[in-house]
Amino acid sequence: MTSPAILVAGSANLDFVVRAPRIPTPGETVLGHAFSTYPGGKGANQAVACARAGGVATDMLLALGTDAYAAELEASLHAARVRPLVVRPAGLATGTAFICVSDDAENAITVAPGANAGLAPGHLPALGGYSHLLLQLETPLDTVTAFARTAHTAGLNVTLNGAPAQALPRALLAALDALIVNEGELAAISGIRHDIDTAIAALDVPCVAVTLGARGVRARCGAAWFSQPGFAVEIVDTTAAGDTFCGALVAELARGARWPEALRFACAAAALTCTRPGAQSSIPDRHDVHLFLQSR
């Protein structure tokens, strides 16, 4: 049997982050008090989370511009030991995200997709050697669907993080082994609100995990149901917590962990992410997660 190896295909953004007393309401200006930039993007964050979870080689297919932001995003992937497979769609700038983080750690994110919108079905590399494909929805839906179908046909385990929220075509759902969503995304995909178990049961996907913020995770895999409580931590910034959960979960499953153990590891990794500022800067490695779990 070949060793597990993960391909993440998706977005990369440079995050422009302002901390402010609160998130502005429409039409309002709020004076913030700190500004930073961080490597981000749901796809790149998840690739970093896979690699930091350790033990499984991780590559990432992403689209960047030819600007200075691109170099910073590539450098962050290299530093995390993710091998970037970069395409550069003509005339498109590197993706950016504009994030306001309030003093009570809420955030609001607006993404300018740029080159992420240029990722096309023909960009998928040869899949030989990969055991798992991890996708999100910050690149065009047609591309995500084509990638999932090709990988499914090739026998890879295909996981989709259904973020940002949108309804999904049947052809995409049929190509998935696992779907990871938050409560809003679950409602957008299933059409069912306020009843998590009914919504999970209604989805014709082998495994579904629903992140519930501080409450933890509810999941179903086949006929087996799991509940993993959240870990209480002092929250600084929740940006990339969901991405950390996705990457850590897929990495653990690829290593051969069972779902309950993988859910516990991924919840702990996501909780640690909330204790640090920024996106990729906040994602813990395997050692950090083990120390945290030992302390609980």
- Point out which residues bind ligand RIB (CB under 6 A): 11, 13, 15, 40-42, 45, 97, 109, 111, 138, 239-240, 242-243, 279
Residue 166 φ then ψ, to 5°: -165, 160
- Cβ count within 10 A of residue 1: 4
Nearer to ligand RIB, 4 or 39 (CB): 39
Nearer to ligand RIB, 221 or 279 (CB): 279
Tokens of 144: 């995500």
CB of 241 to ligand RIB, least distance (A): 8
Active site residue 243: yes
Measured N-to-C along each axis, helices 286-294 and 42-53 cross at an angle, to the nearest 10 degrees, of 70
Q: Is the peptide bond before 140 cis (omega within 30 degrees of 0)?
A: no
Tell me the β-bridge partners of 14. 39, 96
CB of 97 to ligand RIB, least distance (A): 3
Tokens of 214: 């501080």
Say which of 67, 177, 243, 285 is annotated catalytic: 243
Quote the Cα angle for 182-184-185, to 5°: 65
Nearer to ligand RIB, 42 or 220 (CB): 42
CB of 86 to ligand RIB, least distance (A): 17
If 0-12 CB within 10 Å is exposed, 13-18 middle and 19+ buried, where does residue 222 land?
Answer: exposed
Nearer to ligand RIB, 62 or 240 (CB): 240
- Those residues whose C-beta lies under 8 Å from the C-beta of residue 21, and which sit 6 or more positions away, are 30, 31, 32, 33, 102, 103
Bridge pairing between strands 217-221 and 224-228 = antiparallel
CB of 290 to ligand RIB, least distance (A): 24
Residue whose Cβ sits closest to ligand RIB:
40
Residue 7 φ then ψ, to 5°: -110, 120
- Those residues whose C-beta lies under 8 Å from the C-beta of residue 158, and which sit 6 or more positions away, are 132, 133, 135, 148, 151, 152, 175, 176, 177, 178
Provide the residue type at 110 as one letter. Answer: T
The answer to whether the beta carbons of residues 14 and 73 sit under 8 Å apart is yes
CB of 101 to ligand RIB, least distance (A): 11
CB of 109 to ligand RIB, least distance (A): 5
Positions marked catalytic: 243
